Structure 1
């Protein structure tokens, strides 16, 4: 099989939105018929008179589109979209597995956070039990604790998951 760009292949692409425009950009892309994923998580917000649970973007100013390369202009012409994310001089494409892993992390009841800090690669591990069983990642020292970092290099951030050492194994 020859290596080359298949222009009919649907791929996931991370897209940078204007500040606080993730939900509106998501809705506009859906109206255009573009498969879009906006990872959200519930957060308890405090106002002077009340508290309320709200859905907030898990990764601020990011959403993900599942498109053919030829549809990039249509995405960029959507209100709220700032630009595609580039990695090594090319528009960053993400494997389906990374989107599936992100969905799995958000569906779990684990305490997670996103960091743009450039974490140094550590020992490769697999989670042995729990809602993230069989998920692979790298162990990193972060704030003096051992945690599992799932690296999403194509968008330049890592997802930190607090997992006990007894739940991981070396691979």
Structure 2
């Protein structure tokens, strides 16, 4: 069953030690869409060290609630690679690219991954939500509330966001504060 795989992976992640190993670099690898599980299986069968952060997702239907685990960062798996292992990874035919790393960027990544591991442990008890960073100037859409369906631009970001909605036809715009939970980032 799909969820059993992710539960086992979650247990492995809790025991995973993410540290610098000479001759190797922790590297973010971008997978093809919805290929994280197959890529992790490939890495496992080829004795490669990897980390796929997971989070609990809860879906509520009319009469029942279903909990399952999904990748925390859709499309990304973190692998411990050198040049030879990267060539092996390419043979999986499941990746799009990798981010270029050096020793300094790897140190920063390891710190971030250790923080992500702490979040992942938190995800065992409660649901966490991963969102793209909303910065000033980002285009967003309102997904709930009275402004649902409208789109605009983030003006400032605190507990509430100032959203500006442009009425291009009139050459005018209106601004209001809206709860951050009610918006989503446009691509």
TM-score by length of 1: 0.55
Where does 1:2-151 land on structure 2 (aligned, <5 Å)? 9-46=23-60, 51-85=65-99, 90-91=100-101, 94-95=106-107, 96-108=110-122, 112-117=128-133, 119=135, 141-142=157-158, 144=160
Distance in 2 of aligned mates of 1:116 and 1:14: 17
**Partner deviation per Cα, 1:107-135 (whole Å, 9 max, x = no partner):** 12576433333648xxxxxxxxxxxxxxx
Structure 1 residues without counterparts, runs of 5 or longer:
1-7, 121-139, 146-171
Structure whose residues are more often helix by fraction:
2
**Contact 1:45–1:51 (CA under 8 A) maintained in structure 2:** yes
Structure 2 residues without counterparts, runs of 5 or longer:
1-21, 137-155, 162-187
TM-score by length of 2: 0.51
Aligned residues: 116
**Bigger CA drift: 15-24 or 74-83?**
74-83
Cα RMSD, aligned residues only: 3.1
**Partner deviation per Cα, 1:46-79 (whole Å, 9 max, x = no partner):** 5678542111010001110012243211112114
1:135 equivalent in structure 2: none
